[in-house]
A and B are shown apart, each in its own frame.
Chain A
Amino acid sequence: MTVEKLSLSEFKGAMLAIADGMIASKDLLTQADQAIGDGDHGIGMARGFEAVKAMLSEKNFAQIEEVFFSTGTSLLSSIGGASGAIFGSFFMGAAKGVKGCIELDAPGFKNALAAGLEMVKKRGGANIGDKTMVDALEPAVQAAMAYNGNSLGELSLQVYIAAEAGMQRTKTFTARIGKAKTLGERTLGFADPGSISITLIFKFFSDYLKQMA
């Protein structure tokens, strides 16, 4: 059995699981940023998801979009830097895709992903090949759009697999954006830290759905 959809409180639980997973990934993400950036990505993401955790434990929600939006604003205001703006924009954008929903189903998740990607591109201007998290996010959104079933569990696994493949491809790109951009060729062979983060977010979401089934 796979999970078809999440109730509001289950979705809140999923966001909490993502937050715990991201906090536990601090060292891995920091090491990735030490290789090609300035070595702070894990610190920022951990700080951001600590804030998300605190927010989730304090707030009550009436709609799915509020969970997405508050997650976005928590990240935006606690991380700072490039990743605060980018990951904050992703979740705040995703909220626009699920307006009025009180459950999250497969079509809703697809809409959320597409709206999140749109916001990230609008804010940061990065395209495929620039060696940013967009290289993992955009193929994940494409995989979601290609999925025709109605299982949220299956959909989230497809999304994670596509993001992971996109993240692996960033190893073959030279950075053109962000602090890694001036390292140019020296970034070859290393995955972009932000692309690892978005992949992990999808992984923790998919894992949560798997253990529910």
Chain B
Amino acid sequence: MIKKVINNPKDVVVETADGLILAYHGDVKKIENSNAIKRTEIRPGKVCLLVGGGSGHEPLFAGFVGENLADGAVSGNVFAAPAPDQILAATKALDQGKGVLYLYGNYAGDNMNFDIAAELAESEGIATKTVRIYDDVASAPLERITDRRGIAGDLFVIKIAGGAAAKLDSLEEVYRVAAKARDLTRSMGVALAPGSIPETGQPTFTIGEGEIEIGMGLHGEAGVSREKMMPADELVSRMTDLILKDLPFKSGDEVCLLINNLGATTMMELLIVNRKVRALLAEKQITVHDTLIGSYCTSQEMAGFSISLLKLDGELKQYYDLPAKSFAFTKG
């Protein structure tokens, strides 16, 4: 059993939500009959943004509900997509008559449960549209981009979509901007040690002493290669190279950079990573508009990190630069 600061493992999801709501100091409230939260104040007539997915990745998703961000978030059990009735309850609680955009990571479970909820919402007269995030370049080749997983790049798409949902008043338009942000986001992770599921206390995968897996997914899904541990600069060079050539990012591009802790990696290491990423971007004449470093999309106590880049254009930059306030992401 891996040690965790929990009570009954069956209660982790509900107790996490309770703690989170308290930390928001009244800015969000619980949605009845659902393990979901919504902003306390939602402007009537606004297009709403609902994000969600399995629990266990905190602060993703529920930590990003707030001004110019998501209007609500629905959480499933640990590493399992929320059920359709939970998503539907959240959809009904959010809708202001202009429809709801669903934004979530591209996994079989999330896709099916959100699709069922969308069908149920439609039969109740609520319009929805869906943007699935697939930023993880390690998870499938570019020709099969819609098979890729969604990882920390989720945050960039939520930031842009949240801004668009605050400013634009048609679901179609918000969808267009969110999809564009998704299409211009690329990420890649590396795992040094596994996380574990509270209910079993067991690691989600095994990895040899002194080994790392480049490109490993948030639930222990395989990446591109297993290797011996290597110096930070070498590791970062390999990951950044794969990200840059995928979009591809080019000289003259302006990007936002996210260095995300998967759970157990220290800020010291993340800063060492940042130093090398910036050197590589500078070499390519790619400028960095904003940098985020910290725990945004985790996998319990998994050790490792991911690097995400969002390529900005004029429109995206305008939404990115809007102020935002939430538990896990605040921007002046």
Which A positions have Cβ atoms within 8 angstroms of B?
A: 30, 34, 37-40, 43-44, 47, 76-86, 123-124, 177-184, 186
Report which of B77, B80, B139 forms a contact with A182, defined as CB distance below 8 A.
B139
A44 to B221, CA, bound (A): 19
Whether the pair B112, A183 counts as a contact (CB closer than 8 A) is no
Known: A181-B147, A186-B222. 14 other contacts (CB 8 A): A34-B200, A39-B202, A76-B83, A77-B83, A78-B83, A81-B80, A82-B107, A82-B108, A85-B109, A85-B113, A85-B116, A182-B140, A182-B221, A183-B222
On chain B, the residues within 8 Å of A184 by CB distance are: 222
In the complex, A177 Cα to B140 Cα: how many Å? Answer: 12
Query: Considering the complex, which residues of chain B in the window 173-204 have a beta carbon less than 8 Å from any beta carbon of chain A?
Result: 197, 199-200, 202, 204
Rounded to whole angstroms, the CA-CA distance of A80 and B77 in the bound complex is 7
Residue of B nearest to A38 (CB): B219
Taking the nearest CB of chain B, how far is it from the CB of A95, in angstroms?
Answer: 16
Are B79's CB and A38's CB within 8 A? yes
Task: List, in ascending order, chain A residues with CB within 8 A of B166's CB.
Answer: none
* Residues A80 and B83 in contact, CB atoms below 8 Å apart: yes
A123 to B217 CA separation, bound complex (whole angstroms): 24
Kindly provide the distance from the CB of B46 to the nearest chain A CB, expressed in whole angstroms. 28
Whole-angstrom distance between the alpha carbons of A186 and B113 in the complex? 27
Asked if B85 is at the interface of the complex by the 8 Å CB criterion, the answer is yes
| Set of chain B residues within 8 Å of A44, measured between Cβ atoms | 77, 80
B83 touches A84 (CB 8 A): yes
B108 touches A76 (CB 8 A): no
3 A-B pairs closest in CB distance: A81-B80, A85-B112, A82-B109
* Most chain B CB atoms below 10 A, which of A43, A81, A179: A81
* Interchain CB contact under 8 A, A43 and B113: no
Whether the Cβ atoms of A77 and B222 lie closer than 8 Å is: no
Complex interface: chain A residues within 8 A of B155 (CB): none
Contact A80/B200 with A85-B113, A86-B112, A182-B221 known, Cβ cut-off 8 Å:
no
- Asked whether B100 is an interface residue with its Cβ less than 8 Å from the other chain, the reply is no
Q: Chain B: which residue is nearest A186 at the CB level?
A: B222
Q: Are B107 and A179 in contact (CB under 8 A)?
A: yes
Number of chain B interface residues as a range: 20 to 34
Contacts A78-B83, A182-B149 given: A30-B219 contact, CB under 8 Å?
no
Say yes or no: is B312 at the interface (Cβ < 8 Å to chain A).
Answer: no
> Which B residues are in CB contact (< 8 Å) with A181?
147, 221
Q: Is B85's CB under 8 angstroms from A40's CB?
A: no
Which residues of chain A have C-beta atoms less than 8 A from B99's C-beta? none
Q: Which residues of B contact A182 (CB under 8 A)?
A: 139-140, 149, 217, 221-223
How far apart sit A75 and B39, CA to CA, in the bound complex (Å)? 30
Question: What are 23 contact pairs spanning A and B, CB under 8 A?
Answer: A34-B202, A38-B221, A39-B202, A40-B78, A43-B197, A43-B199, A44-B80, A47-B77, A79-B83, A80-B54, A80-B81, A80-B82, A80-B109, A81-B109, A81-B113, A82-B112, A85-B113, A123-B115, A123-B116, A124-B108, A178-B108, A182-B221, A182-B223
Q: Are A43 and B200 in contact (CB under 8 A)?
A: yes
Interface digits, B207-244 against A, CB 8 Å rule (1 contact, 0 not)? 00000000001011111000000000000000000000
Please pick, from B80, B109, B204, B223, the residue contacting A34 in the complex, using a CB distance under 8 A. Answer: B204
* Residues in chain B near residue A40, CB distance under 8 A: 77-80, 197, 199-200
Distance of B266 from chain A, by nearest CB (Å):
25
Pick the most buried of A37, A39, A80, A183: most chain B CB atoms within 10 A of its CB.
Answer: A80
Interface flags, B242-264, vs A, CB<8A=1, else 0? 00000000000000000000000
Q: How far is the CB of A115 from chain B (nearest CB, A)?
A: 17
Is B84 on the interface with A (CB-CB < 8 A)?
yes
Among B77, B80, B84, B149, residue most surrounded by chain A Cβ atoms (within 10 Å): B80
* Cβ–Cβ contact A79 & B108, under 8 A: no
Q: Is the C-beta of B162 less than 8 angstroms from some C-beta in chain A?
A: no
